[in-house]
Structure 1
Amino acid sequence: MTIVHTDGIFSHEVSVCSCPGSDSSDWHLDLLRQRLFPASISKPKTAFTFDVLDHFLIDALECKTSVISFYQKLKRFTNNAFPERVPDRYRELMRVSQLWRDLKHRKWFGFGHDMEQDPGDGGLALFCPACPQPGVNLPADWKVWYDR
């Protein structure tokens, strides 16, 4: 399995738990318990550490880092002399980073543990105190004043 971490991209042997009573079809859940986010549910061959996904989320937010730039940086950490020899997991990082961002937003806005309720329109938006909002920062009769 290819593991992508904050200090590089590595190949590791990963064995599926074959203990009595364990379900071998749910081994992606074992990866999640170990803070590894699998790139696919069935037979994942790539996993990203929670740390690298958090780092990319902050880099993209604060530094406007693109996925390709972040991945090129990881390739340089792995093998600075020959980055082209590093396994290409760019597409997986693109897909997983979108899933990670959605999961983080759902958690931050209270939808992470409620499987029955989906966020509606604007359900994952931050409160903006500068935006006009009736009953919050606009008087109740704001339309009367606006029509004058």
Structure 2
Amino acid sequence: MLSIIATLCRWLDHPEQRRLRREFALWVQRVLLRRKPFAERSILQGEEIQDLEEVQQMLAERMNEWEKEWEQRGLKKGRQEGRQEGRLEGEAHMLARMLERRFGPLNDQQLERIRSADEQTLWAWSDRVFHADSIDEVLDSQS
């Protein structure tokens, strides 16, 4: 958007095009900047934009703030996903340990099924460990 506005500023650089520059600025303010994500970030703060150069300057100032905000959101999301993934790995490891203690060593296919299972499946299998007579009975999807 910044490059488009910069191009418009260059194209409409002549004094006789001042009114057209203002109309473009108002259009950007009333149409584009009222949409997400701009509207959510109160870019206008109650101001009325008078010229395209104001739009360009305002957007340029806000871009760095938005970039930092998006980076923080990404880091937060990454930490949440990492915790979820770590918890799932821990649950899979615990189930494998319980199965080995009860029934003996697991084969590669059984270990892979456990590692690739979702949380709900791991919980269901964990519940079966105490009542099943074999590893296959625990990992049976029909039970």
Q: TM-score, normalised by structure 2?
A: 0.29
More strand by share: 1
More helix by share: 2
Larger of the two Rg values belongs to structure: 2
